[in-house]
Amino acid sequence: MGSRLDIKEGDRYAQLTVISEAERYVLPSGQTNRAVLCRCDCGNIKKIRLLHLVRGRIKSCGCLTGESHGGADTKLYKKWRAIKYRCYVSPYFNNYIENGVTVCDEWNKSFIAFREWALNNGYKPELQIDRIDNNKGYSPDNCRFVTNLENANNRSNTKRVIYKGKEYALMMLLREKNMLLHERGIRGRLKKGMNIEEALSKPFLPANNRIAQNEEEAQLRLETFNNKKSGRKRKIVRWR
Protein backbone atom coordinates (compact mmCIF):
# COMPACT_ATOMS: atom_id res chain seq x y z
CA MET A 1 0.00 0.00 0.00
CA GLY A 2 1.44 3.36 -1.03
CA SER A 3 2.08 6.11 1.46
CA ARG A 4 -0.50 8.85 1.87
CA LEU A 5 0.27 12.02 -0.08
CA ASP A 6 1.20 14.86 2.22
CA ILE A 7 -0.53 18.03 1.07
CA LYS A 8 -1.33 21.18 3.00
CA GLU A 9 -3.02 24.55 2.63
CA GLY A 10 -0.97 26.94 0.52
CA ASP A 11 0.75 24.32 -1.62
CA ARG A 12 0.97 25.46 -5.24
CA TYR A 13 0.70 23.43 -8.41
CA ALA A 14 0.99 25.46 -11.62
CA GLN A 15 -1.78 28.08 -11.30
CA LEU A 16 -3.58 26.32 -8.46
CA THR A 17 -3.22 26.93 -4.71
CA VAL A 18 -4.56 24.37 -2.27
CA ILE A 19 -7.21 25.68 0.12
CA SER A 20 -8.25 22.53 1.92
CA GLU A 21 -9.15 18.85 1.60
CA ALA A 22 -12.52 18.25 -0.03
CA GLU A 23 -15.08 15.45 -0.03
CA ARG A 24 -13.66 12.43 -1.81
CA TYR A 25 -14.70 11.60 -5.37
CA VAL A 26 -16.70 8.39 -5.67
CA LEU A 27 -16.05 6.51 -8.91
CA PRO A 28 -18.69 4.33 -10.65
CA SER A 29 -16.76 1.29 -9.41
CA GLY A 30 -17.27 2.42 -5.84
CA GLN A 31 -13.62 3.34 -5.40
CA THR A 32 -12.94 6.72 -3.85
CA ASN A 33 -10.25 9.28 -4.70
CA ARG A 34 -8.93 12.09 -2.53
CA ALA A 35 -9.87 15.58 -3.65
CA VAL A 36 -8.80 19.08 -2.69
CA LEU A 37 -10.35 22.49 -3.01
CA CYS A 38 -8.06 24.85 -4.97
CA ARG A 39 -8.03 28.52 -5.87
CA CYS A 40 -6.89 29.27 -9.41
CA ASP A 41 -4.79 32.37 -10.16
CA CYS A 42 -7.75 33.70 -12.14
CA GLY A 43 -9.82 33.73 -8.91
CA ASN A 44 -12.00 30.67 -9.47
CA ILE A 45 -12.30 27.96 -6.81
CA LYS A 46 -12.52 24.37 -7.99
CA LYS A 47 -12.58 20.87 -6.54
CA ILE A 48 -9.83 18.76 -8.10
CA ARG A 49 -8.80 15.13 -7.85
CA LEU A 50 -5.56 15.07 -5.86
CA LEU A 51 -3.67 12.65 -8.10
CA HIS A 52 -4.45 14.75 -11.16
CA LEU A 53 -3.16 17.81 -9.33
CA VAL A 54 0.16 16.44 -8.10
CA ARG A 55 0.89 14.65 -11.39
CA GLY A 56 0.36 17.85 -13.36
CA ARG A 57 -2.64 16.65 -15.34
CA ILE A 58 -4.62 19.69 -14.21
CA LYS A 59 -2.86 23.06 -14.08
CA SER A 60 -5.73 25.51 -13.70
CA CYS A 61 -9.45 25.71 -13.14
CA GLY A 62 -9.82 25.38 -16.89
CA CYS A 63 -9.08 29.00 -17.76
CA LEU A 64 -5.83 28.08 -19.53
CA THR A 65 -7.88 26.24 -22.13
CA GLY A 66 -10.87 28.57 -22.02
CA GLU A 67 -13.07 26.05 -20.18
CA SER A 68 -13.97 27.99 -17.05
CA HIS A 69 -15.09 31.56 -16.31
CA GLY A 70 -15.58 32.64 -19.92
CA GLY A 71 -12.80 35.21 -19.83
CA ALA A 72 -9.90 33.14 -21.16
CA ASP A 73 -10.62 34.00 -24.78
CA THR A 74 -10.88 37.76 -24.20
CA LYS A 75 -8.28 40.42 -24.92
CA LEU A 76 -8.40 41.52 -21.29
CA TYR A 77 -7.45 38.04 -20.07
CA LYS A 78 -4.54 37.98 -22.53
CA LYS A 79 -3.34 41.33 -21.17
CA TRP A 80 -3.46 39.91 -17.64
CA ARG A 81 -1.47 36.87 -18.70
CA ALA A 82 0.99 39.12 -20.59
CA ILE A 83 1.94 41.28 -17.60
CA LYS A 84 2.54 38.16 -15.48
CA TYR A 85 4.62 36.59 -18.24
CA ARG A 86 6.63 39.79 -18.62
CA CYS A 87 7.50 39.94 -14.92
CA TYR A 88 8.05 36.27 -14.10
CA VAL A 89 8.62 34.14 -17.21
CA SER A 90 9.94 36.12 -20.18
CA PRO A 91 13.67 36.09 -21.08
CA TYR A 92 13.88 39.62 -19.68
CA PHE A 93 12.10 39.00 -16.36
CA ASN A 94 15.33 39.60 -14.42
CA ASN A 95 15.30 43.21 -15.63
CA TYR A 96 11.85 43.66 -14.10
CA ILE A 97 12.62 41.85 -10.84
CA GLU A 98 15.92 43.71 -10.31
CA ASN A 99 14.09 47.03 -10.73
CA GLY A 100 11.31 46.05 -8.34
CA VAL A 101 8.70 45.70 -11.08
CA THR A 102 6.25 42.94 -10.15
CA VAL A 103 2.52 42.23 -10.32
CA CYS A 104 0.72 43.06 -7.08
CA ASP A 105 -0.60 40.06 -5.09
CA GLU A 106 -4.22 40.99 -5.74
CA TRP A 107 -3.80 40.81 -9.52
CA ASN A 108 -1.24 38.02 -9.53
CA LYS A 109 -3.64 35.67 -7.77
CA SER A 110 -6.90 36.73 -9.38
CA PHE A 111 -7.93 37.54 -12.93
CA ILE A 112 -11.36 38.48 -11.59
CA ALA A 113 -9.84 41.22 -9.39
CA PHE A 114 -7.87 42.52 -12.38
CA ARG A 115 -10.96 42.42 -14.58
CA GLU A 116 -13.07 44.35 -12.08
CA TRP A 117 -10.42 47.07 -11.82
CA ALA A 118 -10.03 47.27 -15.60
CA LEU A 119 -13.76 47.57 -16.34
CA ASN A 120 -14.04 50.36 -13.76
CA ASN A 121 -11.03 52.26 -15.07
CA GLY A 122 -11.61 52.94 -18.73
CA TYR A 123 -10.67 49.62 -20.31
CA LYS A 124 -11.29 49.27 -24.06
CA PRO A 125 -10.03 46.35 -26.18
CA GLU A 126 -7.88 48.61 -28.36
CA LEU A 127 -6.06 50.18 -25.38
CA GLN A 128 -2.87 48.99 -23.67
CA ILE A 129 -2.08 48.78 -19.96
CA ASP A 130 0.59 51.29 -18.95
CA ARG A 131 2.56 51.83 -15.75
CA ILE A 132 2.40 55.50 -14.76
CA ASP A 133 5.72 55.28 -12.90
CA ASN A 134 8.12 52.97 -14.72
CA ASN A 135 10.01 52.36 -11.46
CA LYS A 136 6.97 50.73 -9.88
CA GLY A 137 5.07 47.55 -10.66
CA TYR A 138 1.63 46.60 -11.92
CA SER A 139 -0.98 47.61 -9.35
CA PRO A 140 -4.28 49.54 -9.30
CA ASP A 141 -2.62 52.78 -8.16
CA ASN A 142 0.14 52.70 -10.81
CA CYS A 143 -1.67 51.52 -13.93
CA ARG A 144 -3.94 53.04 -16.54
CA PHE A 145 -5.18 52.26 -20.04
CA VAL A 146 -3.68 54.28 -22.89
CA THR A 147 -3.31 54.20 -26.66
CA ASN A 148 -0.35 52.48 -28.32
CA LEU A 149 1.20 55.88 -29.01
CA GLU A 150 0.86 57.08 -25.42
CA ASN A 151 2.33 53.82 -24.16
CA ALA A 152 5.30 54.05 -26.50
CA ASN A 153 6.02 57.55 -25.24
CA ASN A 154 6.03 56.48 -21.59
CA ARG A 155 8.82 53.93 -21.84
CA SER A 156 11.92 54.29 -19.69
CA ASN A 157 14.11 54.85 -22.78
CA THR A 158 11.85 57.51 -24.30
CA LYS A 159 13.63 60.79 -25.07
CA ARG A 160 11.99 63.54 -23.00
CA VAL A 161 12.43 67.31 -23.24
CA ILE A 162 11.26 70.39 -21.36
CA TYR A 163 9.51 72.77 -23.76
CA LYS A 164 8.10 76.06 -22.45
CA GLY A 165 8.15 74.74 -18.90
CA LYS A 166 6.32 71.49 -19.68
CA GLU A 167 7.76 67.99 -20.07
CA TYR A 168 7.08 66.19 -23.36
CA ALA A 169 8.09 62.95 -24.97
CA LEU A 170 10.10 64.21 -27.91
CA MET A 171 8.07 62.32 -30.51
CA MET A 172 4.79 63.61 -29.05
CA LEU A 173 6.09 67.18 -29.25
CA LEU A 174 7.26 66.74 -32.84
CA ARG A 175 3.90 65.28 -33.79
CA GLU A 176 2.12 68.21 -32.14
CA LYS A 177 4.36 70.66 -34.05
CA ASN A 178 3.99 68.76 -37.36
CA MET A 179 7.76 68.31 -37.45
CA LEU A 180 8.09 64.52 -37.60
CA LEU A 181 9.84 64.91 -40.97
CA HIS A 182 12.70 66.64 -39.17
CA GLU A 183 13.05 64.13 -36.29
CA ARG A 184 16.59 63.10 -37.27
CA GLY A 185 17.74 66.68 -37.64
CA ILE A 186 16.25 67.76 -34.33
CA ARG A 187 17.78 64.83 -32.49
CA GLY A 188 21.12 65.78 -34.02
CA ARG A 189 20.77 69.36 -32.84
CA LEU A 190 19.89 68.24 -29.32
CA LYS A 191 22.88 65.89 -29.27
CA LYS A 192 25.13 68.82 -30.13
CA GLY A 193 23.83 70.72 -27.09
CA MET A 194 21.17 72.92 -28.68
CA ASN A 195 18.12 73.51 -26.48
CA ILE A 196 14.74 72.28 -27.70
CA GLU A 197 13.33 75.75 -28.44
CA GLU A 198 16.25 76.57 -30.72
CA ALA A 199 16.25 73.10 -32.28
CA LEU A 200 12.61 73.53 -33.28
CA SER A 201 12.80 77.13 -34.45
CA LYS A 202 16.02 77.07 -36.49
CA PRO A 203 15.14 76.70 -40.21
CA PHE A 204 15.89 73.47 -42.03
CA LEU A 205 17.13 73.08 -45.57
CA PRO A 206 14.48 72.82 -48.29
CA ALA A 207 12.89 69.39 -48.72
CA ASN A 208 14.99 68.63 -51.83
CA ASN A 209 18.15 68.82 -49.72
CA ARG A 210 17.02 66.46 -47.00
CA ILE A 211 18.00 62.79 -46.96
CA ALA A 212 15.78 60.66 -49.18
CA GLN A 213 13.60 58.27 -47.19
CA ASN A 214 13.87 55.33 -49.63
CA GLU A 215 15.59 54.19 -52.81
CA GLU A 216 12.65 55.10 -55.05
CA GLU A 217 12.63 58.69 -53.80
CA ALA A 218 16.40 58.95 -54.19
CA GLN A 219 16.26 57.71 -57.78
CA LEU A 220 13.42 60.07 -58.69
CA ARG A 221 15.22 63.07 -57.28
CA LEU A 222 18.46 62.07 -58.97
CA GLU A 223 16.71 61.92 -62.33
CA THR A 224 15.16 65.32 -61.67
CA PHE A 225 18.54 66.81 -60.88
CA ASN A 226 20.10 65.26 -63.98
CA ASN A 227 17.38 66.67 -66.19
CA LYS A 228 18.04 70.21 -65.04
CA LYS A 229 20.28 72.15 -67.41
CA SER A 230 21.23 74.96 -65.13
CA GLY A 231 24.93 74.27 -65.33
CA ARG A 232 25.12 73.54 -61.60
CA LYS A 233 27.02 70.58 -60.29
CA ARG A 234 24.92 67.51 -59.83
CA LYS A 235 23.83 67.03 -56.24
CA ILE A 236 24.59 63.81 -54.43
CA VAL A 237 21.45 62.15 -53.14
CA ARG A 238 21.71 59.88 -50.12
CA TRP A 239 19.10 57.41 -49.04
CA ARG A 240 18.73 55.20 -46.05
- Residue 44 burial by Cβ neighbours in a 10 Å radius (0-12, 13-18, 19+): buried
Classify residue 236: in a domain, yes or no.
Answer: no
Residue 210 lies in a domain: no
The distance in angstroms from the start CA to the end CA of the chain is 74
pTM reported for the whole predicted model: 0.47
**139 belongs to a structural domain:** yes
User: Could you tell me the residue range of the domain that residue 21 belongs to?
Assistant: 12-65
- Whether residue 216 lies inside any domain: the answer is no
Residue 3's contacts (CB-CB under 8 Å, 6 or more residues apart) are: none
DSSP per-residue letters across 112-123: HHHHHHHHTTT-
Q: What's the confidence (pLDDT) of residue 226?
A: 66
Q: Please, which contacts does 78-83 make with residues 24 or more away whose CB atoms are closer than 8 Å?
A: 79/118, 79/128, 79/129, 80/107, 80/111, 80/114, 80/115, 83/107, 83/129, 83/138
| 125-172 pLDDT per residue, tens | 889 898 888 888 999 999 999 887 777 666 666 777 888 888 777 877
Pairing mode, strands 160-163 and 166-169: antiparallel
All residues at 6 or more sequence positions from 144 whose CB lies less than 8 Å from its CB, including other chains: 121, 122, 129, 130, 132
Q: What is the pLDDT of residue 154?
A: 64
Same domain, yes or no: 105 and 81: yes
Q: Which domain-ending residue is among 90, 123, 152? A: 152
Task: Give the closest residue to 131 by CA, choosing from 150, 113, 159.
Answer: 150
Domain annotation covers residue 209? no
- Shared domain for 105 and 52, answered yes or no, is no
What is the reported pLDDT for 218?
A: 59
Shared domain for 95 and 57, answered yes or no, is no
Number of domains in the chain: 3
Alpha-carbon gap, residue 72 to 136, rounded angstroms? 27
Which residue ranges in the chain fall short of pLDDT 70? 1-4, 63-72, 152-157, 205-219, 221-222, 225-240
CA distances from 50 to 32, 40, 131 (A): 11, 15, 39
Residue 120, pLDDT score? 92
pLDDT (0 to 100) of residue 142: 92
What span, in angstroms and rounded, lies between the C-alpha atoms of 83 and 113?
14
pLDDT at residue 140, as a whole number:
94
Per-residue model confidence (pLDDT) at position 143: 93
The partner residues of 168 in beta bridges, in order of sequence, read 161
* pLDDT in the model for residue 161: 83
pLDDT value of position 239: 46
